[in-house]
Structure 1
């Protein structure tokens, strides 16, 4: 499918169906949303990179999450906002395949990163005396390499299977390219693709879910027996669980939007991008506000900002904490 002048094949993505009066507001909203996602995730990355106190296995694994989130957002927003302002929904076949590669790598990267973090919390809480012996730098390197190699290789094989199929349609039934939407453009037998797709779902969904359920079951049993570990478990595992649920709920909403035909086209398109919007926005915010180690890494902000923030801290405690956190870590990286 990628030969025979495939580079000249133009596919047509679904449109948002915006009237002229909403084009520029939608363009502005999409651009600001993308910039906000990139800012928050870059802030989380620089915070972890600049603070020696955060150079621990948990945060080294967490470092992969904003990278994956930025990958997913970049797969969607630049192409989407460009098409909004130009009203052009055409995309070349190679560009469509690359977009699908980024989208699925993002999904697999997030799930496998959260799985690795669940294992790290399991060792920290259930086997604290063995933690340093197990979570060595060598182990971390192997885990991180595995996260990205599995995520990329699974989707590369999946997209490579499309090369043997003949494309006979040009209308992509989605706002962005993904493997299922590309498969629907073909008119050959896709059973091999479907079987491999089920295998990929098992690896990226059933596998991580099994590991996370296993680790949380053991963590729950450990903290039930030891009351002094309960607070630590809630503190370290609560944020992780919320992030995982946000990702899975977003994926579920995206799936529902593509399967239920009774919803309006506008609603279906909105639901279709949920997986690429909400996790990249919420992940750095939730970790920034709810993770104690991130909030307590500090240097002294300038006296002017400090005085202003302390004046308003009682009215907006969470906002105060997060703004102070942002200023603090930019100051830390500059020092």
Structure 2
């Protein structure tokens, strides 16, 4: 197959599921999908519609459920459809699009959490200057930088992948990603592997550095202050972001390790790969609902209003 042939079909290496287990797994997956979409859309609508959430922190937070919706919608519907239809084919352009969006999702998580931690650093450590530092223009610049960096890193990765000739047609996964596409090539992938590792290292370094700096500064500020309400606010706002970041890193680490050991089954490797796109979109809005006072109180107010309206 030539490098310019962009219309050929690829075969996905789907799960080996007995006929009796297909529909229970499908229904379970649909339940997870609908719950995740509902929670993330609810969070988006809250930020859009409720004026008390029209603040820099929530404008930056808006990118997180948006990114989660990209991740779960790009991966899960196709996987669930393939389980019940026993279809395991995808066109090359759609495979590349899916891989591109999934990598955008992964990088987006890292950069969005870094931006959110910086916002909390300014709010907690420099509260009197917060309004002048986090102006609408600055917030737009931060959001643009988050998505711009993510797009640039992923474009670099896929531009290198597209230059190699394709000579295979089987994707060794249930969804498309850059490593799977790279295994279709018959050229020398050394440069791609180096750039891929470089991308991952730089993105992780940027995210961890910004978050580490921000949270260390916040911790020092909380230790020096005698105001209990400030400490409580710092814990509530920062804990959610730390939980989400740690959760994402744990899932990503287990996924990477599952592909490094020979004795790990292929189905387990596939499941671990899917968890990156399932767990954060499922739990992120719940974590923010629990730890962020304004979101929690807004939801409770809406719930009480609906209950009283129905009485």
Q: Are the structure 2 counterparts of residues 28 and 303 from structure 1 closer, same or farther at C-alpha, using a change threshold of 3 Å?
A: closer
Match of 1:314 in 2: none
| Change over 3 Å in CA distance of 1:183–1:226 after alignment to 2 | same
In 2, Cα distance between the equivalents of 1:82 and 1:249? 28
Task: Tell me if 1:10 matches 2:20.
Answer: no
Q: How does 1:1-335 map to 2 (within 5 A)?
A: 3-7=3-7, 9-228=8-227, 229-297=230-298, 298-299=301-302, 300-303=304-307
SS in 2 for 1:166: coil
CA distance in 2, matches of 1:35, 1:303: 23
Conserved? CA contact 1:158–1:193, under 8 Å: yes
Give the ranges of 4+ consecutive aligned residues of structure 1 lying more than 6 Å apart after TM superposition: none
Report if the CA contact (8 A) 1:11-1:92 is conserved.
yes
Tell me, in whole angstroms, the C-alpha distance in 2 between the residues paired with 1:51 and 1:248.
Answer: 31
Question: 1:332 aligns to what?
Answer: none
Q: CA deviation at 1:256?
A: 1.7
SS at match of 1:259: coil
Residue 216 of structure 1 and its aligned partner are, at CA, apart by: 0.9
Deviations 1:221-255 (A, max 9, x none): 11111131322211111111001111111111211
Give the stretch that moved more between structures: 271-280 or 31-40: 31-40
> Structure 1 residues 262, 301: closer, same or farther in 2, change over 3 A?
same
1:268, 1:240 → 2: CA distance? Answer: 27
Number of aligned residue pairs: 306
The answer as to whether partners of 1:72 and 1:103 remain within 8 angstroms in 2 is: yes
Cα 1:268–1:302 change in 2 (3 A) is closer
Paired with 2:37 and 2:2, the residues of 1 have a C-alpha distance of 32
Structure 1: runs of 5 or more not aligned? 308-335
**Distance change >3 Å, CA 303–CA 67, structure 1 → 2:** closer
CA distance in 2, matches of 1:88, 1:34: 20
- Residues 33 and 303 of structure 1: CA distance in aligned 2, closer, same or farther (over 3 Å): closer
The Cα of 1:56 is off from its aligned counterpart by 0.6
Tell me the SS of whatever aligns to 2:171.
coil
1:23-79 C-alpha deviation (Å, 9 max, x unpaired): 111222222221111111000000111110001111111110000000000111111
Change in 2 beyond 3 A, CA 1:127/1:302: closer
SS in 2 for 1:273: helix
- Answer whether contact 1:257 1:268 (CA < 8 A) is retained: yes
Match of 2:169, SS? coil
Cα distance in structure 2, aligned partners of 1:199 and 1:302 = 51
Contact 1:11 1:93 in 2 (8 A): yes
Does the aligned pair in 2 maintain the 1:13–1:173 contact within 8 Å? yes
Deviates more, 1:239-248 or 1:25-34: 25-34
Alpha-carbon spacing, 1:15–1:142, altered in 2? closer, same or farther (3 Å)? same
Q: In 2, are the aligned partners of 1:13 and 1:172 still within 8 Å (CA)?
A: yes
Following superposition, the deviation at residue 3 of structure 1 comes to 4.7
Please say if residues 2 and 94 of structure 1, whose CA atoms lie closer than 8 Å, have aligned partners that are also in contact.
Answer: no
Match of 1:311 in 2: none
Check conservation: 1:253, 1:274, Cα contact below 8 A. Answer: no
Structure 2 gaps, min length 5: none
- 1:262 match: secondary structure: coil
Alpha carbons 1:257, 1:269 under 8 Å: kept: no
| TM-score normalised over the length of structure 1 | 0.87
